[in-house]
Structure 1
Amino acid sequence: MAGAATVSNDLVEYGFRRVIITITAVLCALLEIVDTTIVNVALNEMRGSLGATLTDVAWVITAYAIANVIIIPMTSWLSQQFGRRNYFAASIIIFTVSSFLCGNATGIWELVIFRFIQGMGGGALLVTAQTIITESYPAEKRGMAQAIYGMGVIVGPTLGPPLGGWIVDNWSWPYIFYINVPLGIIATMLTLIYVKSPKYGEKMRADQVDWWGILFLASFIGSLQFVLEHGQQDDWFEDSSIITLSVVSLFGLIAFIWREMVYEHPIVNLRVLKDSNLRIGTIMTFILGFGLYGSTFIIPIYTQSILGWTALDAGMLLIPSSLTTAFMMPIIGQMIQRGVKQTYMVAAGFLVFFFFAYWMHNVMTPDTGAEHFFWPLILRGVGLGLLFVPITTMSLSTLQGKSIGEGAAFTGMTRQLGGSFGIAIISTFITRFSQMHRVNLVSHESITDFEVQQRVKQLTSGFMSRGFTYNEALDKAYAAMNGAVMKQATVLSYMDIFMYLGILFLICIPFILLVKQGKAKVDVSDAMH
């Protein structure tokens, strides 16, 4: 590995400069995360204007996610090669230029290519911003610095859908990309003027670069991300491409682990995972990503498909939860600075998230109102606030020097992968559970049952009053009955999802007892992103 960054107080900023650097880094982290979810509400408009199928337009999301998870673990190494400030500025430029090109795309595959390039720039913004913020603060205030960064990371996924819905309703889908351009230009200028880069040791020669490691990592992560994104719609292992890419992902993982363990200059230092706290922390970060992105995915779908809400209304529902998390972050930062054990906060966060999931399980009906969601989602915001920064700090608490940066890369990658797994598993289970509940409900509704006959008769009369013949009205009555059963089955499947999600978080609590007591305040400025 190339030489580590020289830790210096020269990187600490005060007053106006620190405010500008903080705003710049949080803005860049927000841009990256918002773009992960902002396109979700614009897919129909993209499909219509570009003449694409639903499967084709799904690649707009997949390409960005694949590029993200490939670049995140490589960010530490790339920062050493080019210098942190230069790499960060170049990433902003790549993100900004590709955003403009996405808005100008005239075909679906042109858009997909530009989204992949955008994801390569965006993935670097996420993890580099964390270190730039933290290294700008003195050691005693770095818990607060991580809280400020965490505010952007947690709020971002829920800010995307309402912002995207508002832009699409008032303008058109290209503007969800154009909005990045002025912000990216400002961020680039501020980065070049204000952000400092630590001194690194000798750079790696071209013949020392771990090209095979990069190839194996890309094949493992890229194939896995595709399988997770497209598995449900392609019927999982009934599809040959899913089988092929699953095999590629498995062998890519094995080859990647082997290469990184034997090569002198690995692109990702896997040896850092020997630290038990980091191993436990990466698992918990994975679960956090599962809950964060999974709940951000499931709630808008439920409100739109079951309750008939608009995309903007569905996105706005999550705003109070995000604001609660943002309010929690400075408080959590202060608690960490005062020495409150992160294990206590993490345990409390998992417990709160369990209560949120259980509450959501109880309030879900085919006609639930926005007022029923408000307090459960406030509880979600509290739980996420208690989890994000304490898990990160706890994961890195027994690491030293450059290992902190390498460990932070793992927590960033596993959070993204946890979100991908969460969305894939939840979408699959909704389909499977809905089918199971439909079978159970239909078995209790026989055509010979008096109440069923009366309901069919009422519906038939209603359709006949609209001018349909008896046979047409009867067919529509049966279709309406089937639709009602399917809707109820789907509601039951969402209830199951929240119950299992809550249990998953509850199971995590005992594992916190395995965490060793480390540093209360982690010096993330040693990180090498």
Structure 2
Amino acid sequence: MISTEAAGGDVQEASDAPRIPSSALNRTILVVIIGTVMSVLDMTIVNIAMRRLSEAFGAPLETIQWTATAYTLALAAVIPTTAWVMARIGAKRAYLTALILFTLGSLLAACAWDAPSLIAFRVVQGLGGGLLVPVGMGMAMAAADRERFGRTMALLGLPILVGPVAGPVLGGWLLDAASWQWIFLVNLPVGAVALALAAKLLRPDAPRGTVPAPQLDVPGLLMLSPGLALLLYGLARGGERGDFSTPGALLPALAGATLVAGFLRRALTTRHPLLDLRLLNDRTFAFGIGTLALFTCGYFGSMLLGPVYWQQARGWSATSTGLLGVPVGLAVGTTMQIAARRVDKVSPRRLIRAGIAVGALGMALTGLLVGVENVPAWQVVCATVVMGVGSGMVLLPTTTTASRDLPKDRMPAASTAVNINSQVCASVGTALISVVLGSAGADPSGFRTAYLVAAGLLALALVPAMRLPGRRD
């Protein structure tokens, strides 16, 4: 009998739950992968279309960038409700609702007539996208037993391999061969297929009325969702301007942080919190979240540096810049597939520590190389590939290790916590690196400083990673 021990010494029995057949698990994974691929491709495609959208609507680039910001804010607002929505209407219904919202938002965005309408329709997309990934992950995590958890998480990581590689290429081709509308219309056939498969293949939800409806923590929702949105908005504005002291950045960030702090206090005292922070009583989950927080901050925070470096400091075209990102995307995705499967068989602590060390080394090498005038491009790309290999050894394996031994009924809450952690820490990292780059200057020495700061954040993830399990029971 397999058991796991939390910090308080409580023993959870893991073998009491019935084993879900492999066929049902595989169907769930297939549906989730298709939906996640659509979401990841959309984000990568829209990111490279900003300048074209600015020209199409005759709007400043600063205004068009709100198409990305509004999407992110919608994600932040809806992700905290994931666990409640799944419990209230069922996982399958929640996933179908997310697919409908995302696909409808894509259609509306393609029909936008000006920048404000496009931004509004991106909010609709974001509401669907904010449910799509955590609901899908929660379903798959609940369906997989401990022995199949690493394989399941590895398969769920396939969109991370496809998106960064195919997104820029597909987006560039659609913009050149067709029109900007097609960067959204391309989601419609994928969304239709995902809806049909989800309706047919996912396990039916329990009939309504057979399970007591959970209470919605309305005060918690009114604190956490606006709090996250305001915090991310303030961080984004501060990062864009390189200054967090301006009222437009400082006031929203402080208001958001205050609301989030109020939510944390409430979540620890109320009987039915919106987000179950008691998950952190599990030592493995707590240290896994800590590892992911620091690593995500440095890894995703550094993502803005490559495009700016190649286009601004080196004068390369957007197409060439996109192609230079393909090797690191392949490195991350391929390594992630191998590592997420291996974490079922080897010491998670050793694997993840090694990945952090390799990732920090690759990031530091990238920083040292970009600080050299006219360094050969292949050397910089090789350094980023090393960083990508390390990242692939950390991201999904840490999520797998943190969540694998939790009871099945807590998987939706765990998925919600992981996704909130990723959104917030990625935004914090992006804002921090933006400020560092703005202060140091967008020249070789400035990029070197920014990359080295990101490498330091990755290295700090070693501290909580040291407390992860050293072996499988």
TM-score by length of 2: 0.89
Measure how far apart 1:517 and its partner are. Answer: 5.5
For each residue in 1:256-280, what CA deviation from the matched residue of structure 2 results, as whole angstroms up to 9, or x when unmatched?
1233233332221122223333222
Name the counterpart of 1:314: 321
Name the counterpart of 2:349: 343
For each residue in 1:115-161, what CA deviation from the matched residue of structure 2 results, as whole angstroms up to 9, or x when unmatched?
11111101211122223344555643221111111232365356433
Which of the numbers 458, 467, 473 marks the counterpart of 1:514? 467
- CA contact under 8 A between 2:296 and 2:426: conserved in structure 1? yes
Using a 3 Å threshold, how does the CA distance of structure 1 residues 165 and 388 change in structure 2: closer, same or farther?
Answer: same
Using a 3 Å threshold, how does the CA distance of structure 1 residues 235 and 288 change in structure 2: closer, same or farther?
Answer: closer
Name the counterpart of 2:8: none
- CA contact under 8 A between 2:93 and 2:205: conserved in structure 1? no
Using a 3 Å threshold, how does the CA distance of structure 1 residues 88 and 519 change in structure 2: closer, same or farther?
Answer: farther
Does residue 82 (structure 1) correspond to residue 82 (structure 2)? The answer is no
Partner amino acid, structure 2, of 1:344: R
Does residue 497 (structure 1) correspond to residue 446 (structure 2)? The answer is no
Name the counterpart of 1:204: 213
For each residue in 1:412-435, what CA deviation from the matched residue of structure 2 results, as whole angstroms up to 9, or x when unmatched?
21112221112111111111011x
- CA contact under 8 A between 2:154 and 2:337: conserved in structure 1? yes
TM-score by length of 1: 0.80
CA distance in 1, matches of 2:375, 2:175: 26
List aligned pairs for 1:185-200, cutoff 5 A: 185-197=192-204, 199=206
Secondary structure of the residue aligned to 2:316 is coil
Measure how far apart 1:317 and its partner are. Answer: 1.4
CA distance in 1, matches of 2:236, 2:391: 24
- CA contact under 8 A between 1:158 and 1:318: conserved in structure 2? yes
Partner amino acid, structure 2, of 1:24: V
List aligned pairs for 1:49-88, cutoff 5 A: 49-88=56-95
Structure 2: stretches of 5+ with no match in the other structure: 1-14
Measure how far apart 1:186 and its partner are. Answer: 0.4
For each residue in 1:489-525, what CA deviation from the matched residue of structure 2 results, as whole angstroms up to 9, or x when unmatched?
61111111112222222232243223355866xxxxx
Secondary structure of the residue aligned to 1:402 is helix
- CA contact under 8 A between 1:34 and 1:157: conserved in structure 2? yes
Which of the numbers 149, 166, 179 marks the counterpart of 2:186? 179
Using a 3 Å threshold, how does the CA distance of structure 1 residues 159 and 416 change in structure 2: closer, same or farther?
Answer: farther
Measure how far apart 1:43 and its partner are. Answer: 1.1
List aligned pairs for 1:22-421, cutoff 5 A: 22-137=29-144, 139-153=146-160, 155-157=162-164, 159-197=166-204, 199=206, 202-204=211-213, 208-234=215-241, 236-338=243-345, 340-364=346-370, 365-397=372-404, 399-421=406-428
CA distance in 1, matches of 2:204, 2:352: 33
Partner amino acid, structure 2, of 1:190: L
Moved more, 84-93 or 374-383: 374-383
Using a 3 Å threshold, how does the CA distance of structure 1 residues 41 and 500 change in structure 2: closer, same or farther?
Answer: same
Using a 3 Å threshold, how does the CA distance of structure 1 residues 409 and 512 change in structure 2: closer, same or farther?
Answer: same
Moved more, 55-64 or 166-175: 166-175
For each residue in 1:153-194, what CA deviation from the matched residue of structure 2 results, as whole angstroms up to 9, or x when unmatched?
365356433432332233222211111111000000000000
Sequence identity (%): 24
Question: RMSD across aligned C-alpha pairs, in angstroms?
Answer: 2.5
- CA contact under 8 A between 2:369 and 2:375: conserved in structure 1? yes
Moved more, 255-264 or 181-190: 255-264
- CA contact under 8 A between 2:80 and 2:225: conserved in structure 1? no
- CA contact under 8 A between 2:150 and 2:340: conserved in structure 1? yes
CA distance in 2, matches of 1:325, 1:238: 36
Partner amino acid, structure 2, of 1:345: L
